[in-house]
Structure 1
């Protein structure tokens, strides 16, 4: 693929991510994406990606290699007795650091937050996430570190982490867009502390609230 084609593809991805983040996945047509990208070729998405589903998969797969490398390095530095907070740092910090590296305004957090509302797209996100053996291993180690709690409660609390993390990041990204200092490092450690406290909190009722199964939250 030539440089011109690479640039055209990247422009389409940037335009789609912004529009999806602003207006939602289902509210944005392929034609609107191409127009926002500044091309008069309304079949550009089909030409560069093969179709809308492939465009969405390309968007979801963006920057994964970079985050996987960072997560692998963090896991390699863990001690054998790593606690819940250490494990959560490996899980969350690569995502936070990626958001911090993006130019302002960025749309990534808000786009991924929107993805969760579309079941067919969320399934693709789940596939990308669960196919990552480093993430799978971190989840297993977290479950082992929380073995004093009922497994159903642990699973339910893990389901809360997804919308909580993405919601906080999407809101902060919007505030940065409006002029708030980025401060992504602070957001990351706030989320690590809050998540560790929530996951390890004592169970005070035998029928503790459990969420319905959902998709993983992390890319």
Structure 2
């Protein structure tokens, strides 16, 4: 029994070491430029087949790296969305959605590396191949999207247009945050600085989501002053 538990602990430690090393190298060098053998060597693992055994491929490693960080970000997003219920409205929902990532970037030591990898995958989704992150780690994103769609639909915006704009907004947020991290020295990446960026992005995103199409009268924001309380 004790021996089996020790083996499980050793295996878990190996996986953690491999993923931590992969995360750092993916962020520093770019996902496409990191050989699996380099991850094994940098992690100090003697078993050169360990990475292939646990993950199968670079895409498998990337999927595991993302899932490892998406879980706590997802929990944070749910908490922020729950707090946004008291304020209501599209701006509050968008702010909570964006803040989950922004707060992680400045509060977690792995936040900047995760953001770098997220930006790479956002721009090059083919990096994951046929792999997909776990659906349960995206429940906060789905909740935010559902609330925004319901609120925006009240302003008579077509669902297809809302979905397209939300994709644009998410891309803008990821790249804007990645640029902020790149251009801001680590000592200056403060919670206050990120809060300002989050507020600017939320205001920009909410305005873009609710803008009336050229062939439609302006959206009456009074009809969508509060998001659905679900």
Question: Which category of TM-score, normalised to the shorter sequence, fits these structures?
Answer: 0.7 to 0.9
- What is the aligned partner in structure 2 of residue 119 from structure 1? 126
Query: What's the TM-score once normalised by structure 1's chain length?
Result: 0.77
Query: Closer, same or farther in 2 for the Cα pair 1:179/1:68, shift >3 Å?
Result: closer
Choose which of 191, 198, 201 in structure 1 pairs with 2:201: 191
**How far did 1:152 drift?**
2.9
Query: Closer, same or farther in 2 for the Cα pair 1:122/1:88, shift >3 Å?
Result: farther
Query: What's the TM-score once normalised by structure 2's chain length?
Result: 0.74
Which whole-Å deviations, capped at 9, do the CAs of 1:42-94 have from their partners, x for residues lacking one?
22212444443432221111133322322222333344882111111232222
Q: Does structure 1 retain, via aligned residues, the 8 Å contact 2:15–2:54?
A: yes
Is the counterpart of residue 6 in structure 1 residue 16 in structure 2?
A: no
More helix per residue: 1 or 2?
A: 2
The alignment partner of 2:33 has SS state of: coil
- What is the aligned partner in structure 2 of residue 83 from structure 1? 89
The alignment partner of 2:44 has SS state of: coil
Q: Distance in 1 between matches of 2:71 and 2:92?
A: 22
- What is the aligned partner in structure 2 of residue 169 from structure 1? 177
Q: Distance in 1 between matches of 2:135 and 2:96?
A: 14
Q: Which runs of 5+ in 1 are unaligned?
A: 207-219
The alignment partner of 2:32 has SS state of: coil
Q: Distance in 1 between matches of 2:196 and 2:136?
A: 27
**How far did 1:97 drift?**
1.6
Q: Distance in 1 between matches of 2:211 and 2:45?
A: 53
C-alpha RMSD of matched pairs (Å): 2.9
Q: Does structure 2 retain, via aligned residues, the 8 Å contact 1:25–1:118?
A: no
Query: Closer, same or farther in 2 for the Cα pair 1:60/1:186, shift >3 Å?
Result: same
Rg larger in structure: 2
